[in-house]
Amino acid sequence: MDLPLPILPPEIVELIVIYAARPLFPPRHAPYGEYMKIRKSHWKRLGGVVSSTKYYRQLLVKKWFAVLVLHEPSDWERVLNSNWMGGLEPVICTILAAKGALTSSPRNPTNTNVLASFNNLSQVSLDYHNDFTRSGSNYPYYQLITELPRSLEVLEILNAHGPDEHIIRLASQRCPDLTELRLGRCTMFNNRNCVWWKAHPADHDAYMADRGVEAYAGAVGNLIENMPKLRVLHIGVYLTPIEAVWAHRVDHRKLHPVPDVMRHENPEGIHNHLHQVALAAANGDDPEPPVNYHYPPLAKQEIWDAPCSECDRHFKVPAENAELRTACVLSARVWSLRTISFASFTSPGRVGMSTWEVRPKHSTLGTLLDGEDALVMLPQLEQEHPPIRHIKIDAGRLEDGEFIKQKHLTFEISSIGGTIVLSPPINEPLMETVSSTRVTG
């Protein structure tokens, strides 16, 4: 005799539906290409559940619109219109602003306060590629966003050209609950055709340098010290000298999959810059800057995509040492941090990350420190008997979910006039320090 199937309690069914809707939500950080491909197809697969009852239809519709993907500047006005879908602003918790959604164009600039209109946002990813204006020859920086919602917990900036300082200060002032901050850059590796680099061919050292590491870490630490809940920080700089680029292009040619072109070639039909300006004006476009023949063109993507054992041999270990030192300094300044990553020159395609785990500890007591400890201890550093004099940082990698320590540095920590001061590492006093404090990211 066939037994009737048991009817699941509504609470269990709801949990199943919520679980089935998980692919509608994006990963914690870029890239989002695969997510963009499957999101709509997964929504279609949920069609049966959507049409089953009014309750589950409303539940899944809210899940769908909890994530807002914007592609055009006009998308902002549409979603903020109270008539759009009955006004869904309260359910939106994640915004992905793709390339082109934020614009600095004088003809159609994005409202720089636009994110303040969303009161329940927890995660935002902003493609910052238009953070400059095409006026004059220098393309001055432009602040695409000047307000952030207080509810924000995860902030990601992609493809930026300008200094990171503005966005870090803004997040520090506006987002008390921020736990994750990712600062990505536009580079010769991820966007070789960018008009910014055509106008600034000599400025790639803004995101590639192996000198000034400790001073740079201290400057970033000053900016993020007012983020007591920050646990994850990605800095889109390569702690590798800019000379590594030319070493690969010139000295490692035998490992290139295609020939590397070192001379500029004029596109067919364009004989000079004036002709190019006239063509752009005829099409209603902004003209690109003239070619600077003092600098070779950027390498083709294939040159960077191919593995290079010589780059690994010469640059991997020095970069990791610089990353470890920087991560330790940042951890000694901001005790809530647990994960710190950097752009990696020896990663696939030169566009990956090198990620480190940090564990700040009280050097005497051996106890793990966090943001709450910092709020209590740091204001007491100028007392005669401060609660902490030395801080030890364990740094390493995660392997199968387990923290594997690779290095530890111990710093003397003090305060002068309310400013936190770290000594050079006591256990490695001879490690080089350099005096650059520019925070460009």
SS (H, E, C) 87-117: CCHHHCCEEEECCCCCCCCCCCCCCCCHHHH
What percentage of the chain reaches a pLDDT higher than 70? 90
243-290: per-residue pLDDT in tens?
Answer: 999 999 999 999 999 999 988 876 544 555 555 555 555 555 566 777
State the pLDDT at residue 245: 98
User: What distance in Å separates the CA atoms of residue 202 and residue 245, rounded to the nearest whole number?
Assistant: 13
- 161 and 270 inside one domain: no
| Amino acid letter for position 405 | K
User: What distance in Å separates the CA atoms of residue 236 and residue 187, rounded to the nearest whole number?
Assistant: 10
Is 59 a domain residue?
yes
Kindly state the DSSP code that residue 345 receives in the 8-state scheme: T
Query: Which residues have a Cβ under 8 Å from the Cβ of 107 and sit 6 or more positions away?
Result: none
Strand partners, 155: 124, 181
Cis peptide upstream of residue 31 (ω within 30 degrees of 0): yes
State the pLDDT at residue 231: 98
Query: Which residues have a Cβ under 8 Å from the Cβ of 357 and sit 6 or more positions away?
Result: 338, 339, 395, 396, 397, 398, 403
Is 33 a domain residue?
yes
- 136 and 78 inside one domain: yes
| Amino acid letter for position 59 | L
- 167 and 81 inside one domain: yes
- 267 and 188 inside one domain: no
Using the 3D structure, point to which of 318, 334, 360 is the last residue of a domain: 360
CA dihedral 286, 165, 148, 373 (to 10 degrees): 160
> Which has more pLDDT, 90 or 207?
207
Q: Is residue 180 scored above 60 in pLDDT?
A: yes
Helix axes 213-224, 165-174, angle to 10 degrees: 30
Of 413, 238, 226, whose CA–CA distance to 334 is shortest? Answer: 226
pLDDT-derived band at 436 (thresholds 50, 70, 90) equals very low
Q: Is residue 440 scored above 80 in pLDDT?
A: no
Is 401 a domain residue?
no
311-335: per-residue pLDDT in tens?
Answer: 999 999 999 999 999 999 999 999 9
Kindly state the DSSP code that residue 394 receives in the 8-state scheme: E
- 191 and 290 inside one domain: no
36-89: per-residue pLDDT in tens?
Answer: 999 989 888 888 888 888 888 888 888 888 999 999 999 998 888 877 766 677
Q: Which two tokens stand for residue 20?
A: 């089935």
Burial tier of 142 (Cβ tally within 10 Å: 0-12, 13-18, 19+): buried
When the pLDDT of each residue in the chain is averaged and rounded to a whole number, the result is: 88
- 86 and 52 inside one domain: yes
Are the C-beta atoms of residues 36 and 68 closer than 8 Å to each other?
A: no
User: For the chain, what is the domain count?
Assistant: 2
293-303: per-residue pLDDT in tens?
Answer: 888 999 999 99
- 224 and 121 inside one domain: yes
Most confident of 106-120, 183-197, 414-428: 183-197
User: What distance in Å separates the CA atoms of residue 327 and residue 94, rounded to the nearest whole number?
Assistant: 29
- 144 and 80 inside one domain: yes
- 159 and 283 inside one domain: no
| Bridge pairing between strands 353-362 and 339-343 | antiparallel
Burial tier of 356 (Cβ tally within 10 Å: 0-12, 13-18, 19+): buried
| Amino acid letter for position 248 | H
Of 72, 80, 74, whose CA–CA distance to 118 is shortest? Answer: 80
Helix (H) or strand (E) holding 42: helix 33-45
Of 239, 218, 220, whose CA–CA distance to 230 is shortest? Answer: 220
- 147 and 232 inside one domain: yes
- 206 and 283 inside one domain: no
Are the C-beta atoms of residues 411 and 423 closer than 8 Å to each other?
A: yes
State the pLDDT at residue 248: 98
Is 378 a domain residue?
no
100-131: per-residue pLDDT in tens?
Answer: 999 998 888 999 999 998 999 999 999 999 99
Is 415 a domain residue?
no
Rg of the Cα trace of the chain? Answer: 25
Are the C-beta atoms of residues 120 and 90 closer than 8 Å to each other?
A: yes
- Residue 163: CB atoms within 10 A of its CB come to 15
Cα 199 to Cα 133, 144, 241, 258, 295, distances in angstroms: 12, 20, 22, 26, 11
Is 211 a domain residue?
yes
Is 87 a domain residue?
yes
Using the 3D structure, point to which of 360, 381, 406 is the last residue of a domain: 360
The residue length of the chain stands at 441
Stated pTM of the model: 0.90
- 146 and 273 inside one domain: no
Most confident of 1-5, 24-28, 344-348: 344-348
Cα 415 to Cα 124, 216, 219, 283, 393, distances in angstroms: 35, 19, 16, 59, 19
Is 68 a domain residue?
yes
Domain that holds residue 284: 263-296
